[in-house]
Structure 1
Amino acid sequence: MSEGKAKTECVTHEKSQAIVDHLRSKCISRGLSNLKSFGTVFRQFDKDYSRQIGLSEFQKGFQRYGISITEEEELALFRKFDKDGSGLIDFHEFCQQLVPPLEGKRLEVVNDVFQQLDSNGDGLLQTSDIEELMLSRARAHPKCLRGDWTETEFVERLLAAFENADSQDGVVTLQEFVRYYTAVSWCIQDDVSFETQLRHSWSL
Structure 2
Amino acid sequence: MAGTSRHDREMSEKASRMLHKTTDPIERLRLQCLARGSSGIKGLGRCFRIMDDDRNRSLDFQEFKKGVHDYGLDVEPKELREMFEKFDRDKSGSIDFDEFLVKLRPPLSNARKVLIQKAFRKLDKTGDGVITVDDLHGVYNAKHHPKYLNGDWTEDQVFLKFLENFDTPGDPDGVVTYDEFYNYYIGVSASIDNDIYFVIMMKNAWKL
- After TM superposition, the score normalised by the length of structure 2 is 0.57
Alignment of 1:107 with 2:113, yes or no, is yes
**Aligned residues of 2:124 and 2:130 also touching (Cα < 8 A):** yes
Q: 1:76 aligns with which of 69, 85, 92?
A: 85
Question: By how many angstroms is 1:22 displaced?
Answer: 5.0
Q: 1:19 aligns with which of 18, 25, 37?
A: 25
**Aligned residues of 1:124 and 1:173 also touching (Cα < 8 A):** yes
Match in the other structure for 2:139: 133
Q: Percent identity?
A: 31
Alignment of 1:159 with 2:163, yes or no, is yes
Q: Give the direction of change, closer, same or farther, for the CA distance of 1:36–1:197 in structure 2 (3 Å limit).
A: closer
Consecutive aligned runs of 4 or more in structure 1 exceeding 6 Å deviation: 36-39, 78-82
Structure ranking higher on relative contact order (CA contacts 8 Å, 6+ apart): 2
- Equivalent position amino acid for 2:153 in 1: W
Match in the other structure for 1:35: 37
Q: Give the direction of change, closer, same or farther, for the CA distance of 1:34–1:169 in structure 2 (3 Å limit).
A: closer
What is the SS of the residue equivalent to 1:115? Answer: helix
Match in the other structure for 1:116: 122
The separation in 2 between residues aligned to 1:23 and 1:165, in whole angstroms, is 18
Question: By how many angstroms is 1:76 displaced?
Answer: 2.5
The separation in 2 between residues aligned to 1:125 and 1:147, in whole angstroms, is 25
Question: By how many angstroms is 1:77 displaced?
Answer: 5.8
5+ residue gaps, structure 1: 1-17, 43-50, 85-92
Match in the other structure for 1:188: 192
- Equivalent position amino acid for 2:122 in 1: Q
Q: Give the direction of change, closer, same or farther, for the CA distance of 1:177–1:36 in structure 2 (3 Å limit).
A: closer
5+ residue gaps, structure 2: 1-23, 45-65, 89-93
Question: By how many angstroms is 1:24 displaced?
Answer: 5.3
* Structure of larger gyration radius: 1
Match in the other structure for 2:206: 202
Q: Give the direction of change, closer, same or farther, for the CA distance of 1:203–1:77 in structure 2 (3 Å limit).
A: same
